[in-house]
């Protein structure tokens, strides 16, 4: 299967660099480029990409709003958004994830990791870089409970094992890493993750991680 990719960045040289990396792969094809969020919306409608590599800070319309319109609840098509930014402490990263992005990476990510992230996102999963879990932790550190409080009422729908899996997802662990941590099979982990997403009405692992921090399930020092 060929994965159709749209590049969105206000710096032409960066788009050229990404294009060279992606077009070296037999299963990836760059179908278009955009220099701002508004152009991205137009290109998504016209070109129907599978994955949009989205910069955050751009003129006219930033990447957060563009992501919300492309991948949010009222989206028109199946395009997934993978956010790329220069700064791992970008204040808009969490907003982009809330808006519907399926993942977050830094622009200096190694080429092989960028390619793999596109494949993961295109396959319907989420790409949660370790740095974004740290960003979430930093953002909510002053709001998180001490640990003595009763878990949020919404979490009572989960089994103890599902809560444990949610904590590990929030730490950015893959299914294989969670399986090793809990001494179970990857298939079992996938089943638990699926139950967590369904019960909490979450779209993917990224939303699950955000939920874990916002609910207070994951606390400072948990990573």
- CB 100 within 8 Å of CB 81: yes
**Residue 191, CA distances (Å) to 184, 185, 188, 196, 204 in order:** 11, 10, 5, 9, 13
Instruction: Look at residue 126 in the predicted model and tell me its pLDDT.
Output: 67
- Spans of the chain, pLDDT less than 50: 143-149, 220, 222-223
Instruction: Look at residue 145 in the predicted model and tell me its pLDDT.
Output: 45
């Amino acid at each position: 299967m060929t994965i159709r990719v749209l590049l969105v960045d206000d710096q032409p040289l960066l788009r050229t660099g990404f294009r060279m990396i992606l077009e070296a792969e037999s299963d990836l094809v760059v179908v278009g480029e955009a220099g701002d969020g508004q152009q991205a919306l137009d290109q998504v409608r016209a070109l129907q990409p599978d994955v949009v590599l989205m910069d955050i800070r751009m003129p006219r319309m930033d990447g957060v709003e563009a992501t919300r319109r492309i991948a949010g609840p009222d989206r028109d098509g199946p395009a997934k958004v993978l956010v790329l930014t220069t700064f791992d402490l970008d204040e808009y990263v969490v907003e982009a994830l809330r808006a519907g992005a399926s993942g977050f990476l830094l622009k200096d990510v190694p080429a092989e990791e960028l390619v793999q992230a596109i494949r993961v996102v295109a396959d319907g999963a989420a790409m949660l870089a370790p740095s974004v879990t740290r960003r979430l932790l930093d953002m909510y550190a002053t709001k998180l409970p001490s640990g003595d409080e009763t878990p949020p009422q919404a979490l009572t729908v989960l089994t103890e094992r599902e809560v444990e899996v949610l904590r590990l997802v929030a730490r950015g662990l893959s299914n294989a890493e969670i399986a090793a941590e809990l001494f179970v099979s990857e298939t079992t982990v996938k089943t638990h993750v699926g139950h967590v997403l369904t019960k909490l009405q979450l779209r993917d692992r990224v939303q699950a991680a955000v939920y874990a921090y916002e609910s207070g399930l994951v606390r400072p020092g948990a990573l």
